[in-house]
Each structure stands twice: as C-alpha cells, then as structure tokens.
Amino acid sequence: MDTLTHFVNGAGELFEGFLKQAHLVSIFLGLVLSFGVTQWVKSAIRLRYHKRAADPQDRMTEEESIARHRLVVRTVACLTGLIATFLTWPDGSVQYRIVWALTVGFASPTIYWIVLRIAARRWPDLAAAVSSDSKLPEDEK
C-alpha cells in the first residue's frame, strides 16, 4: 500500500509540475483538441459518405475521393490545433501567439500520424480496436 501511495503522490506532483508550465500546457491542449476533433470529424465524414461517392454523379475517382478526405481531415486538424493554441497561449505578444499557434496547427497532423504509427506497432490490438477503418470490410477501406 505504501508503494501505491508513493506512486500516486509522485504522479500528482508530476502533473502539478506540468500544469505550472503554461506554454507546454497550451501546446498539449492544442494537440489533444486537434486529435480529438479530427477523430470526430473523420467519423462524421465516414458516416456521410459511407458506400457512396462524395460526388453524387460519381465523377471522382477513388484516388481523388481519398485525397479530398485527407485534405479535409488535415485541414480540420491544423485549424483546431491553431485555434486552441492561440486561445490558450498564456502570455507574450500577439506575434508569439500566432507563431506558436501556426506551429502547433501545422504540426498536429504530422504528430498525430507519428503517434498513431508508434501506437500501432507497440499495441496493434488497441490500434485495430479504435480504428474506424478496421470496422469496414476490406473492399470499402
């Protein structure tokens, strides 16, 4: 029990120390909100266009449809990370807010991709369980 108490106290102190680093918290919030909103939007897009092309007359090729999907998802990730970081940046001039917001915004799709690949290699069962692509039959991915 003493070890558990020591672990919980240490984790609490670590978390409190992290919260004191307001700039890191702002970056973290920007990334987490970007990841979360992007997942939500991806699900909404998939529900909307599942089993039918984005273009009602089916003039888009599958490659064009995939490219459009990726552009929308990456744009949402970028804008969400940018706005969240800009709004939560603790101090400094507007120029610093803008630069850091742009950095987090444009980096969030790439960071998400890296984190996802690492998680998929480390915990393949978990990655398959949370992936919306794994719920589709092979011919619809």
Q: Where are the domains of the chain?
A: 23-140
d(CA 69, CA 54) in angstroms, rounded, equals 9
Q: For the chain, which ranges sit under pLDDT 50?
A: 136-141
Q: Got the DSSP string for 43-68?
A: HHHHHHHTTS-SSTT--S-HHHHHHH
**Overall pTM surpassing 0.75 (yes/no):** no
Under 8 Å between Cβ of 127 and 116: yes
Q: What does DSSP assign to residue 141?
A: -
Q: How far apart are the first and last CA of the chain?
A: 48
Per-residue model confidence (pLDDT) at position 35? 87
The tens digit of pLDDT for each residue in 38-61 reads 888 887 777 666 555 555 565 667
d(CA 12, CA 7) in angstroms, rounded, equals 9
The tens digit of pLDDT for each residue in 92-106 reads 788 989 999 999 999
d(CA 85, CA 5) in angstroms, rounded, equals 34
Per-residue model confidence (pLDDT) at position 78? 92
- The residue behind tokens 């969240």 is 84
